[in-house]
Amino acid sequence: MTARDPLRDPWRPAMREALARAAAATATGDVPVGALVLGPGGPDGEILGTGHNEREATGDPTAHAEVLALRAAARRLGAWRLTDCTLVVTLEPCTMCAGAAVLARVDRVVYGAVDTKAGAAGSLWDVLRDRRLNHRPEVIGSVLAEDCGRALTDFFRAR
């Protein structure tokens, strides 16, 4: 992970946008995870695609926020390679989503809350930095981690 001052973190506005997307998931009983793909320009890049969990809403086990955001960005660009793009997500990606980020060739993955039960960006597994793979995006973790974690805790507490 990249060391940074959490109060001056340039990724905070993008993570706030991802948190807003996560809130939409709760309306359908989905776990509040939100994601977006930013184009070139780092934290100031244009939003190319967004998503929030829709597994309950659609009955699709692959309808994770990250996958939906990557699909939307690829449609928008007309290409599956999302080089120079950043995936921002409120929860550390699972193995499926980390694999999708690698396959999409995103340059960086920025996440909020750590997922010690299913995280694949360094917690349980480290798919994103696995040297055996042909692409390894930069990983920036724990951006607005408390806010992202609170959204999940509040959701599960209410259930």
Verify whether residue 138 is a known catalytic residue: no
Exactly one of 66, 92, 138, 146 is catalytic; which is it? Answer: 66
> Tokens 């259930």 — which residue?
159
Bridge-based pairing of strands 34-38 and 138-140 is unpaired
Angle between helices 12-25 and 65-77 (to 10 degrees): 110
What is the rounded CA–CA span in Å between residue 23 and residue 62?
19
135 assigned binding-site residue = no
Q: pLDDT per residue over 92-148, tens digit each?
A: 999 999 999 999 999 999 999 999 999 999 999 999 999 999 999 999 999 999 999
85 assigned binding-site residue = no
Domains and CATH numbers, the chain: 9-158 (3.40.140.10)
Q: pLDDT per residue over 96-111, tens digit each?
A: 999 999 999 999 999 9
148 assigned binding-site residue = no
pTM: 0.95
